[in-house]
Amino acid sequence: MTLSNKVYDTLKALVTVAIPACTTFYVTLDSIFGWGYGDTVAKVSAAVCTLLGSLMGISSANYYRRTSLPMPEDEAEADNSEEGLG
């Protein structure tokens, strides 16, 4: 599974900014106004972010495997090894 750049960028923004921000907003207001289900919203949000993040990781690995480009982590490890740091 490989996601298009547009889909990947959109999911990344959702997983790293939008969903956590909305969750924090709801949980905070829930504790103030007693709306209910704050714990449930936080847990579901964490599960959704974890799932989407995992799918994005799989897509990223497939992209780098398909394009024969080194993954960013591989580049960092290679740079450390060349300098005698790793």
CA distance 23 to 52: 15
Neighbouring CB atoms inside 10 A of 15's CB total: 19
* pTM of the predicted structure, to 2 decimals: 0.73
Listed by start position, the domains of the chain span 5-80
64-75: per-residue pLDDT in tens?
A: 888 877 777 654
Tens digits of pLDDT across the chain (86 residues): 778 889 999 999 999 999 999 999 999 999 999 999 999 999 999 999 999 999 999 988 888 888 877 777 654 454 455 555 54
18-30: per-residue pLDDT in tens?
A: 999 999 999 999 9
CA distance 45 to 11: 14
CA nearest neighbour of 65 among 53, 76, 78, 74:
74
